[in-house]
């Protein structure tokens, strides 16, 4: 199994980059004994201002073929953290590669979005994509702690 996050935009050094790096390191440490691999972040950037279609083309080329696609979108379903963890464990148990997709300022192009195996939302409000990256990294770490039975997730 491999897990990737394919995201539009380059995350420069700063608070968000530090948080993403910290949560992904924690995920790697907690996930290893559970059979969960370290997560790769794939960044794509369209410097010509081609909008969602150009970003979709770049994402399409960057997404590892055969991966189950989990798209981050405010219109998606809102799983609880334990449901999210269970779903990740399910992909692991099927030895299915997994790629999370985060769009750019104008969102994920509709045809690409329709290819999603699962669309998940962090609420109906729109968040900046770099913050969504932090939130996703935290939820992935939380999922690993839930699967490990560790006390991080207290709910
Ligand atoms: C600034 S938002 C784009 C919003 C855009 N209006 C749209 O229609 O998708 C950039 C990206 O952040 C992610 N995002 C923003 N808010 C989100 C939310 N509430 N839940 C899940 N993902 C979100 C999505 O991947 C989105 O493509």
Q: What is the mean pLDDT of each run of 10 residues along the chain (155 residues)?
A: 96 94 98 97 91 95 96 97 98 97 96 97 97 98 97 84
List the chain domain ranges.
3-148
- Residue 47: predicted pLDDT: 87
- Residue 140: predicted pLDDT: 98
DSSP string, the chain: --EEEEEES---SSHHHHHHHHHHHHHHHHHGGGTPPPEEEEEE--TT--HHHHHHHHHHHHSPTTPEEEEEEEEEE---HHHHHHHHHHHHHTT--EEEEE-BTTB--HHHHTT-SEEE-S-SS---HHHHHHHHHHHHHHHHHHHHT-TT---
Instruction: Tell me: ipTM over 0.90.
Output: yes
- Residue 154: predicted pLDDT: 81
Please give the number of the atom of ligand 1 that sits closest to the Cα of 122. Answer: 20
Q: From the CA of 127, how far away is ligand 1's center (Å)?
A: 6
Please state the CATH superfamily assignment of the domain spanning residues 3-148 in this structure: SPOUT methyltransferase, trefoil knot domain (3.40.1280.10)
Report the pocket of ligand 1 as residue ranges, CB < 6 Å: 72-74, 102-103, 105-108, 121-123, 125-129, 132
Please give the number of the atom of ligand 1 that sits closest to the Cα of 108. Answer: 27
Pocket residue to mutate for ligand 1, from 7, 11, 46, 73, most atoms within 8 A of Cβ = 73
Q: From the CA of 135, how far away is ligand 1's center (Å)?
A: 12
Specify the residue with its C-alpha closest to ligand 1, atom 5: 107
Pocket residue to mutate for ligand 1, from 46, 74, 101, most atoms within 8 A of Cβ = 74
């Amino acid at each position: 199994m491999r897990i990737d996050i394919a995201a539009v935009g380059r995350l420069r050094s700063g608070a968000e980059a530090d948080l993403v790096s910290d949560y992904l390191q924690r995920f790697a440490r907690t996930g290893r004994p559970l059979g969960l691999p370290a997560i790769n972040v794939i960044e794509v950037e369209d410097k010509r201002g081609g909008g969602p279609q150009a970003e979709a083309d770049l994402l399409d080329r960057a997404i590892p073929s055969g991966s189950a696609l989990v798209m981050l979108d405010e219109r998606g379903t809102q799983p609880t953290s334990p449901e999210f963890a269970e779903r990740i464990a399910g992909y692991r148990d099927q030895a299915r590669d997994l790629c999370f997709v985060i769009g750019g300022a104008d969102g994920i192009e509709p045809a690409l979005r329709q290819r999603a195996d699962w669309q998940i939302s962090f609420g109906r409000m729109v968040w900046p994509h770099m913050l969504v990256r932090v939130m996703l990294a935290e939820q992935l770490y939380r999922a690993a702690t839930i699967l490990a039975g560790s006390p991080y997730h207290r709910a």
